[in-house]
Structure 1
Amino acid sequence: MRVLVADDHDLVRVGLVMVLDAQPGIEGVAEARDGVEAVSAARRLRPDVCLFDVRMPGLDGIEAARTLAGPDVDDPLPVVVITTFDLDEYVHDALRAGARGFLLKDAGPDLLVQAVHAAARGDALIAPSVTARLLSTFAARSAATPTEPVVPLSDREEEVLLAVARGRTNAEVAADLYVSLSTVKAHLTSLMTKLGARNRVEVAMWAHETGRVDG
């Protein structure tokens, strides 16, 4: 798995690459010091995952994510945003821009590796410590009121929706609901189709924005 790391702080960037390189099957294929350099390298190398800091000079991580993974991108690249800030409006913007995950820089190597793997397989991961608070806070600030899907959600889809919004993994949802992993994935696919969501992050955001999850 080839990962591009972009961060304007040399020590942080080098540290992230060292953590990733130490994992079997993961290679830090390139480094970038700002968003412009990151976008150029990503388009040239087509890495499996891009790991972007939120705040970078020239072009920040949000705009870099939108350029590579936004709604209008035909062949989006998986982008994970990593930041120092626990509750930062940039994070919400990054997820809206198409990022598949959000981590704090103090999350630790295990969660970093999990996020990279999740993004590479088309899933998404948000740091569990901030998932509910982050999404519910910005849902309350959202100017637009999300509409209900044309085809109503089934009772089971509502259960899966709530679990995903609370940061549960597919395996945890399967255990909680006493169903198979493939069944959870099928429900999640159906949810994304009905809600017009591209990934589980957008599914979770919709749940919070419609008031289905409190905090």
Structure 2
Amino acid sequence: MNTSVNLSIVYYSSTGTIAAIAREMAETAEKAGAEVRLRRVAELAPQAVIDANPAWAAHAAATADVPVVTADDLVWADAVLMGSPTRFGNISSQLKQFLDTLSGPWSKGLLADKVYSGFTSTGTAHGGHESTLLALSNTFIHFGGIIVPPAYTHPDKWADGNPYGTSHCDRGGTHPVDETTRAAARVQTERVVRFARGTKAVKAAA
């Protein structure tokens, strides 16, 4: 049975690394037959701070047409891929602020029994890849989510080297998202869609 899957890809990106991974995931999910909502979280930084960083300002302008996520995007979804750059080994304040608005649907059980998985980026090789993804998992657990990591289930994940999720080191903005990261993102997305499809079919048959 080819059960349809609703996938929300929710992300925060300041200069574009996480957004590039999110777009790769969206394209992969659509090819896998999923209905996809690509959503960014609202920006909290003052405009003066954004304007002082040309890459940040350029990315903000380039992605202004991407819809801002709402709670309904998670309620609608069978699966959620969530991405954030690392901020001192944790998720960004922008993404955290959105998560902190979800007590309503959470308290009604509307975020439970969905597949969740995370992705991230850092500026340095050991700058918090794993801790950021584990921090996301804390929230997924409180939601009652089914966490589906990519793990080392494919050669492209051995190359990427992160079993917790897709991650990229942009070396302070000098290393754009490369094919290694894109391949890892495809593996993760295909796995999430596959598990979401199976989970949805099991729930429908119960």
Give the TM-score, by structure 1 length: 0.42
Higher relative contact order (CA 8 A, sep 6+): 2
